[in-house]
């Protein structure tokens, strides 16, 4: 059987995209899922997503969304010779969560089916996200995130499950508080106190809404801030670690390498090569 094209998945600091043309035998399997969300849109052929109760067959017009921590078992459908799909791994902004309450096929596995005209229109938008993410335009990550936001909003307009949403505002407040205080000491207890919940209740609601623990979300946002600073400034790594809420530069370097596969220094050098310029003052 052909091995998956994807390298072992690392947590996403911004977003990763792809446009795959897979053939018979392709399969990706991650029993514990990943730490971010995965959105796919089938353009042609047919794919399959396995779950505890069976499998979801994805055909043109099917858009599939997997929450963090959901089993990844997908590939070309057994009777098909090919599967063309667009995909994006992403960490949502806090106000996106309500838009990600799609009709559930299985726990953590959701699908929207779009009519041909709507599907074709939104597939062009999806391709635009991919081209922005992998192009050479200035601020390509920011532009791709904004394009993804527009795409998810457009999908939301065709989501018949909208009325079933809980829209827990305290989770949004918790996420906003975390994002505004990344350089401070943050814990489950302190965030819970800010939003008026017990630590256990916040933990339950936060995981249900986002698929992540509070601590996992805090670290993901801190690493994203560090990546921004590494790519856009010439600040010393020790200063960047502190600005992102890491007391120890050594611990920061360990966590950063675990998430990206690169040391902070190597990541900065990679960004300089990609853009053709050295890092300057904050953008």
* Statement to judge: residues 69 and 112 lie in one domain: yes
pLDDT digits 0-9 by tens, 69-104: 899 999 999 999 999 999 999 988 878 888 898 999
Q: Answer yes or no: is 250 within a domain.
A: yes
pLDDT at 164 over 50: no
* Statement to judge: residues 158 and 21 lie in one domain: yes
* Statement to judge: residues 196 and 264 lie in one domain: yes
* Statement to judge: residues 51 and 133 lie in one domain: yes
* CA proximity to 197, closest of 185, 209, 183, 184: 209
Q: What are phi and psi of 35, to 5 degrees?
A: -90, 5
* Statement to judge: residues 157 and 173 lie in one domain: no
Mean pLDDT, residues 34-41 taken together = 91
Name the percent of the chain lying above pLDDT 90. Answer: 56
Q: Answer yes or no: is 24 within a domain.
A: yes
pLDDT digits 0-9 by tens, 215-259: 988 998 898 889 888 888 889 999 999 999 999 999 999 999 988
Q: What are phi and psi of 159, to 5 degrees?
A: -95, 105
pLDDT at 48 over 80: yes
Domain that holds residue 131: 15-163
**CATH number of the domain where residue 190 is located:** 1.10.10.60
State the helix-helix crossing angle for 188-195 and 169-180, rounded to 10 degrees: 120
- pTM, rounded to two decimals: 0.71
* Statement to judge: residues 41 and 119 lie in one domain: yes
């Amino acid at each position: 059987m052909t091995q998956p094209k994807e390298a072992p998945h690392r947590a996403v600091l911004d977003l990763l995209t792809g446009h795959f043309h897979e053939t018979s035998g392709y399969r990706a399997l991650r029993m514990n899922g990943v730490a971010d969300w995965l959105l796919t849109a089938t353009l042609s052929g047919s794919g399959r997503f396995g779950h505890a109760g069976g499998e979801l067959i994805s055909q043109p017009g099917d858009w599939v969304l997997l929450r963090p921590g959901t089993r990844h078992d997908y590939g070309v459908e057994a009777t098909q010779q090919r599967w063309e799909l667009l995909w994006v791994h992403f960490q949502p902004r806090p106000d996106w969560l309500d838009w990600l309450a799609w009709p559930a096929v299985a726990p953590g596995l959701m699908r929207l089916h779009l009519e041909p005209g709507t599907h074709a229109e939104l597939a062009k938008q999806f391709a635009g996200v991919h081209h922005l993410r992998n192009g050479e335009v200035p601020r390509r990550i920011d532009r791709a995130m904004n394009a993804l936001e527009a795409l998810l909003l457009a999908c939301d307009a065709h989501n018949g499950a909208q009325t079933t949403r809980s829209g827990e505002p305290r989770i949004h407040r918790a996420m906003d508080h975390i994002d505004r205080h990344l350089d401070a000491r943050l814990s489950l207890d302190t965030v819970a106190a800010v939003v008026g919940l017990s630590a256990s209740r916040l933990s339950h609601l936060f995981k249900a809404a986002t698929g992540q623990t509070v601590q996992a979300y805090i670290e993901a946002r801190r690493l994203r801030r560090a990546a921004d600073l590494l790519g856009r400034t010439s600040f010393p790594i020790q200063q960047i670690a502190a600005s992102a809420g890491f007391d120890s530069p050594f611990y920061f370097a360990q966590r950063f390498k675990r998430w990206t596969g690169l040391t902070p220094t190597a990541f900065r050098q990679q960004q300089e090569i990609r853009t053709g310029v050295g890092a300057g003052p904050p953008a």
